[in-house]
Each structure stands twice: as C-alpha cells, then as structure tokens.
Amino acid sequence: MTSRRTFLLSGLAALAGTSALANAPAVSLRPVARKVSSLAAGADGLRALIERAGLPGDAVCAVADVKTGKLLEASGGTRALPPASVAKALTALYALDVLGANHRFETRILATGGVAGGVVNGDLILAGGGDPLLNTDHLALLAKSLKSAGVREVRGKFLVWDGALPAVATIDPDQPDHVGYSPAVSGIALNFNRVHFEWKRAAGGGWAVTMDARTEKYRPEVATARMAIQSRAVPVFTYAEKGGVDHWTVASKALGKGGARWLPVRNPAAYAGDVFRTLARANGINLPKPQETRALPSSALLAQHHSPPLDVMLKAMLKYSNNLMAEMIGMSATAARAGRPASLKASAAEMSRWAAAKYGMSATRLVDHSGLGEDSRMTPADLTGALVAAYKAGQLKPLLKPFQLRDAKGRTVKGHPIKVAAKTGTLNFVSGLGGFMTAADGTELAFAIFSADEKTRSRLTRAQRERPPGAKSWNRRAKQLQQQLIERWGAVYGS
C-alpha cells in the first residue's frame, strides 16, 4: 500500500519546477525536462540537491537508519575525502575501545636514590604520562605536594621524561609556524603546549613583552620561549629553534596598541620543566636547570596528578575540537594496543587498521588522530557504518555536542523539529559533518557529509594556510549544503 508520505513526495517531485496549466494545449508539445525536487525520494532527489548547491569541488554523503543499519541513500558514498576534524569522532571510539571510559592519565614526580631528611639524594624526575589537560595549576599542586612531603633539596639532577609518546615537532608541518592549533606533541604537555605572548606599550614608547605559562591563578614567565620585536610589516611572525629554546620575532607594524595571543610550544619537555622549576622555587625547593631524559630510571613515587576520566576528556575534545588532545589520546591508545608507536603517522595507521577490523572501514586512511593533516582520507559510507555500530553500543552520541540548524541569515533556529548531535570538521576548502539526527517523528539516522575543493587547496602556499582568500565563503556554502541535506533526510525519511 502506498503511504501518504510517499504519495505526497511523489506529487512534489512531479510538480517541481513546473506551472499548472488552466487548459490543455491545442497541439501536442515536445516534452520538457522537468526539474527534480530535492525532496524527491531516491538518488535523483539527492543528486539534484547537491548539484543545485553549486559548491566547487566534491561533495559526498551517506545516511543510514541507526536501528536497522540500512543505508538509506548515498552520493559518492565510497569516495574518500579529507575528513578534517570529523576524524576526532573515530579517535574517540578508538580510545574508548582500547583504553576504556574510566582511563586516567598520570603525571608523576619521581626520585632516584631515596629521600632522607627532606633531601632527595639522587635525581628528581617530572614524568609525563600522556595527559593532554595538564596545566600550570596542576604543576603547582605537584610542587605543593613535594613541600608537604618535606622535600627541601635535590642533590642530583632535575630530569624531565616525555618518552611515553613519540616526539612530534608539529602536528601538521604544512601549517604556519605560529598557529596554536598545531603545536608539538610528546609524552608531556602543558597548557596544550602553548605559551602566552602579551605586548603592551611601554612608558618610553617601546614595547613591554611577556612570554608566560599563565592560568587564572599563576603567570610564571618562561625561559624556553623568547620574543623579539622587529621593525617590519611582514611576515607577522618568524620562528627558529636555538639550543632547545623557541625564538620568535614579530613585526612591529602588526602590534597595534597592544594585545595577546597563544603561540605553539616546540619543546614540551623543556617548557614543562622550566615552569615546574619556577613553581617549586615558590615552595622553597630549589631545583637545578631541567634536563631531558630519554630513559626512565628506577625510582620512587613522590607525588602524582591524575587527569579526569577519559570519557569526560573525550567530550571536551569533541566540543572544542582540540587537536593536541586528539593526538595524545590517539597515540596513547596505540601504545596500549600495539606498543609505543614510532611516529604520529604510524599511530594513525594503527588506528586505521583498528577501524577496518572493528567497523569494516576498509577505505579509511588517516595520517593523524585530529584530522589536521590534509592527506587523511575517509569515505562517508565507512563513517556512517561506524556510527551505526557505535549507536547500538551506546557510544559516542552522548559525547557529541548539539549541531544548531540555522535560517537563511545564519541565525540559530530555536525549536527546530530536527535535532542533530554531530562532529564538525573545517579546514580551508574542506568541510565535514558526521553524527546523528533525530527527525520530527523521532526517526533516528546516522550520517556523514564530506566536501572538499582539493584543487584550490593544493594551490595555497604555507603562508596562506591561516586565512586564504575565498575560504570563508566556500566553507559557509559547504555548511549550508550540510543543513540542506539534513533537512532533506528529515523530510524524506522522518515525516
């Protein structure tokens, strides 16, 4: 029996793009090709919607019923495109499967040679455990714990160990040096491996500059990152590493009247050691200059800090789309599953193998865990299948944030009948969206949408990667297409 919904949609498809005629023509006319409604059920309606969007490049998608797992429709469903930060949804599933929702990361203070009379007779070690949320406040608590334990002096070395994970100078080498979303990665991180650069006009007409590891409670200045102001207009920033110290310069003509921004840290172990030494000194404990150690010697535990549970961290990672969190959590999962990875790319390859075995994502090839690297590829069919499986297992959807649907002027539509929980992904001329939607009648669907203008993106220089011309308008059109697809699926499959 033909349903009322099918009858209405078929009628809309037949009438789309035509005018009703009051009288029949006197002579036979050649049939005129009629426009297909974007609300028409089936592949024709889907293709019509994508074609009318006129988005340069490629746009692919897939949608499935979460309860039955049935693929309802797809366009280019097996075509692999860059997923951008939508890849973090897969990283979250990877971490949950390998580490478990209750996993916590540890940062430890260790000592060799024993402690007697408040004196550490050997070395003191700050040992990172892969915690991407470690901040200056946490190091301050560790320093206070040492003081409370009666530690006053260290006769050996002060060592920093970051070997739990491989050292990566920058998540994506193709990004400009100064962008905070592509910092270094290793087994220890502090303040998302970013340093706070602030500049103010000085009384004599020059500039007062600070580089610190600030939180709301503390503002310890650092010696591992330095800034010099140079008289020029461009480039705005330059970077060089000298003796393990991050040396930056900034163009004076870009400073205005004053301001601040976070810059990436390239030497995380040195940065964390520098800050901990300052905080220890504030607690009456004088430490030698920190040194990095590749091996973790036999030692005794003096103090430790635990991260929040993994599921709490993953929800924050997905909400704020934090790249460092994705990389450290993803590499930690690989270390637990297959041993410490040799590199970030090797860890991403292991996650890709896991995804193929766990969810049948045979066409997915990732180069990192955050989606920042443009060489990562994922198909909408692969992701949709994983989302269906995750839904049935009760995973992921509770961790995703609501995706707001908007009107033609970009304003949030309050009370929209379609509810969406999804992970967005945005690079220059790349846009993705993957997650779950609940239609007006309660039908729940899993979907994935990837768009990319790879030709335009390939022409960008490294310096243009932060704000290239045309990228903002392209990404806005891509997001409009995403909403049109969601509204189509709500009308076709959830009315």
213-230 pLDDT, tens digit each: 999 999 999 999 999 999
Domain spans of the chain?
43-102+309-493, 106-306
Homologous superfamily (CATH) for 106-306:
D-Ala-D-Ala carboxypeptidase C, peptidase S13 (3.50.80.20)
Q: Which residues contact 464 (CB under 8 A, 6 or more apart)?
A: none
83-97 tens-digit pLDDT:
999 999 999 999 999
Output the six-digit token pair for 336.
């637990």
Is there a contact between 149 and 302 (Cβ–Cβ < 8 Å)?
A: yes
The upper half-sphere exposure of residue 149, i.e. CA atoms within 13 Å in the direction of its Cβ, equals 21
Going by C-alpha positions, the residue among 351, 371, 347 that lies closest to residue 81 is 371
Give the C-alpha separation, 259 to 389, whole Å. 47
Q: Which residues contact 7 (CB under 8 A, 6 or more apart)?
A: none
Homologous superfamily (CATH) for 43-102+309-493:
DD-peptidase/beta-lactamase superfamily (3.40.710.10)
pLDDT at position 258 is: 94
Q: Which residues of the chain have pLDDT under 70?
A: 1-42, 495
pTM of the model: 0.91
